[in-house]
Structure 1
Amino acid sequence: MSEPDQRLFFLLQRAAHQLRTVADRRCAAAAGITTAQLGALFAVRERPGLTQRELAATLGLREPGVTALVGRLVAAGLVSKAPHPREHRAFVLELTEDGAAALGAARPEIERFNAEMRELLGEDGFLRTAAALDRLARWQP
Structure 2
Amino acid sequence: MKRNATAVWEGSLKEGAGHLTTQSGILNNTQYSFKSRFEEGTGTNPEELVAAAHSGCFTMQLSAFITEGGFEIDSIETKCVINLEEGKIVSSSLVVNAKIKGISNETFQELVTKAEKNCPISKLLNTEISSEATLM
Q: What range describes the TM-score normalised by the shorter chain of this pair? A: 0.3 to 0.5
Higher relative contact order (CA 8 A, sep 6+): 1
Higher normalized helix content (fraction of residues)? 1
Higher normalized strand content (fraction of residues)? 2
> How does the TM-score come out when normalised to structure 1?
0.35
> How does the TM-score come out when normalised to structure 2?
0.36
